[in-house]
A and B are shown apart, each in its own frame.
Chain A
Amino acid sequence: MISMKSITKAYATGSGVVKVLDGIDLEIVRGESIGILGRNGAGKSTMVRILGGAEMPDSGTIERRMSVSWPLAFAGGFQGSLTGLDNLRFICRVYGVDAEACLPFVYDFTELGIYLKEPVKTYSSGMRARLAFATSMVVDFDCYLVDEIVAVGDSRFQAKCHEELFVKRADRALIIVSHDPGYIRAHCQRAAVLRDGKLHHFASVDDAFDYYSDYMA
């Protein structure tokens, strides 16, 4: 189980302090999949960073009783001057996973071939996404954070991701953050909408979908 209670987060900007999250409550258990809808700049990524522990909230509490991934398919966890393989090895070392044993899967999944031995900064965003996704599959988490996965990759990559995440790991918890209601609707059991720093919860995905459609209109 993961629970967030009364989370707030504000950033100092050039034009004063902006409160991005203003009292967020969220709870998720293993096997559940939650979609978080929000427009660009609504604070979705901030929420994901706080959930994953990459950032601290200003106030409120987070309780993590299961392991949480870093944002999936997200290329930010890489160091540009290191090769794809060295980045993979770094992450494996951090999480205590045998990197060499994972290589066949990573080669097969990413289809990056010789490029795995090139610096990540030379990768296209699609290549980065493939490496990032494969790397996060290598470490076994109870809960996966998915940030805007729909935006990257071709259909073949999409299909592979779908297989790994929604089929093979259907028993895990999933938190999917997106501005695309269709994607959330297809993959989540329930959904919430992030708006003006507040997280609005709904009984069904359809209710959230309706609310979000009205709000976007």
Chain B
Amino acid sequence: MSTVSLSESWAIQKRVLGALLMREIITRYGRHNIGFLWLFAEPMLFTLGITALWTISGLHKVSDLPIVAFAVTGYSSVLLWRSMPSRCISAIEPNLPLLYHRNVRLLDVFIARIALEAAGTTISAVGLVLVFRGLELMEFPEDVLLVTAGWIMLGWFGASLALFLGALSANSELVEKFWHPAAYILFPLSGAAFLVDSLPPVAQDAVLLLPMVHGVECLREGFFGSKVVTHFDLGYVAAWNAALTVAGLLMTRGIADKVRPE
């Protein structure tokens, strides 16, 4: 083994992650039209579309909540936990050639993609809230701290799930096949389009098994606390997240020795 001090390792780590981030941005968004602005323009378009759809379809008559704020909080949170796994599942193949450079490791590839998705969806969500507030279509959250907590827990959930599924996808193509339908089915169950309190008690217990429901509920409590009754337990999400993170890191370590650079 080569002898490298901790500070040197840290310097290398920063260089590699920086290089991978730049590479991801260039390959994904290119230098055409608005370039890397797509990073958050893309999730914004998604959320805007859903917001428009829910507004037109009259979903706002179901609850007293302002529909725009409901859609923005709901769909942004779906993007947050869904996009990171989607990006990590397909991360290994196109990056195989880069693994020829000893300091570029699989974990770095995952971290770069996770960071980029997290940044994109966060900027998009904050941007939309600011714009809609400017247009007086929604209010600022009642409790920013709680919103931040919910957002971080959802982001951590997405990141740990991404690491876990990304590593798992190296062993089996089935991960990719199953992830898309799973993500699709989980979307309506994730709490994005309903408040847990509006469900019958049996259904409440069932959906609260899903960790992301707790995150979304926390987010909604932060936004509309005085107007809604929410059900969430951040400890429960944290337990899921921690377990997925540990499993994901172990699996990434495990496959790192097996993945052959192209």
The interface of chain A, by Cβ under 8 A from chain B, is: 49, 52-56, 61-65, 68, 70-71, 74, 76-82, 86, 89-91, 93-96
Query: Which of A54, A62, A63, A82 is the one whose CB lies under 8 Å from B261?
Result: A54
Residue contacts A-B, CB under 8 angstroms, 28 given: A49-B100, A49-B260, A53-B102, A54-B99, A54-B102, A55-B261, A61-B1, A62-B1, A63-B1, A63-B2, A64-B1, A64-B2, A71-B100, A74-B100, A76-B100, A76-B262, A77-B98, A80-B97, A81-B27, A81-B94, A82-B23, A82-B26, A86-B26, A90-B22, A90-B98, A93-B22, A94-B16, A94-B101
Q: Which residues of B contact A68 (CB under 8 A)?
A: 102
Report Cα–Cα, A61/B1, bound state, in Å.
8
- B261 near A49 with CB under 8 A, answer yes
Inter-chain CB contacts under 8 Å: number = 75
A56 cross-chain contacts in B, Cβ below 8 A: 256-257
Q: What residues of A have a CB within 8 angstroms of the CB of B260 in the complex?
A: 49, 55
Q: Mark B221-236, 1 if CB is under 8 A from A, else 0.
A: 0000000000000000
Given contacts A64-B1, A79-B94, A86-B26, whether A94 and B261 have CB atoms under 8 Å apart is no
Say if the beta carbon of B145 comes within 8 Å of chain A.
no
Binding site for A on B (CB under 8 A): 1-3, 11-12, 15-16, 18-19, 22-23, 26-27, 94-95, 97-104, 256-257, 260-262
- Most chain B CB atoms below 10 A, which of A74, A77, A82: A77
A76 to B98, CA, bound (A): 8
Provided the pairs A49-B261, A65-B2, A90-B19 are in contact, do residues A70 and B101 lie with their beta carbons within 8 angstroms? yes
Contacts of A91 in B (CB 8 A): 19, 101
CB distance from A144 to the nearest CB of B (A): 14
Closest to A94 in B: B19
Q: Tell me which of B15, B94, B257 contacts A94 (CB under 8 A).
A: B15
Please report the C-alpha to C-alpha distance between residue A74 and residue B261 in the assembled complex, in whole angstroms: 12
Q: Does the CB pair B97–A77 fall under 8 Å?
A: yes
Q: How far is the CA of A122 from the CA of B2 in the complex (A)?
A: 37
Which A residue's beta carbon lies closest to that of B96? Answer: A76
The docked-state distance in angstroms from the alpha carbon of A96 to that of B11 is: 9
CB-CB < 8 A to A53: which residues of B? Answer: 102
- Nearest CB on A from B113, distance (A): 14
Contact partners of A52 in chain B: CB under 8 A: 100, 102
Q: How far is the CB of A132 from chain B (nearest CB, A)?
A: 10
Question: Chain A residues with Cβ under 8 A from B22's Cβ?
Answer: 89-90, 93
A90→B23 contact, CB < 8 A: yes
Chain B nearest CB from A122 CB (Å) reads: 15
For B2, the chain A residues whose CB sits under 8 A away are 63-65
A94 touches B100 (CB 8 A): no
- CA of A56 to CA of B258, assembled, Å: 8
The complex places the Cα of A81 from the Cα of B31 at a distance, in Å, of 13
Whole-angstrom distance between the alpha carbons of A74 and B97 in the complex?
11
Residue of A nearest to B27 (CB): A81
Residues of B within 8 A of A54 (CB): 99-102, 261
Q: Of all chain A residues, which has the CB nearest B1?
A: A63
Q: Is the CB of B97 within 8 A of A76?
A: yes
For B261, list chain A residues within 8 Å (CB): 49, 54-55, 76
Given contacts A65-B2, A96-B15, 13 further A-B contacts (CB under 8 A): A49-B100, A52-B100, A55-B261, A70-B101, A70-B102, A80-B97, A81-B27, A82-B26, A82-B27, A90-B98, A94-B15, A94-B16, A95-B101
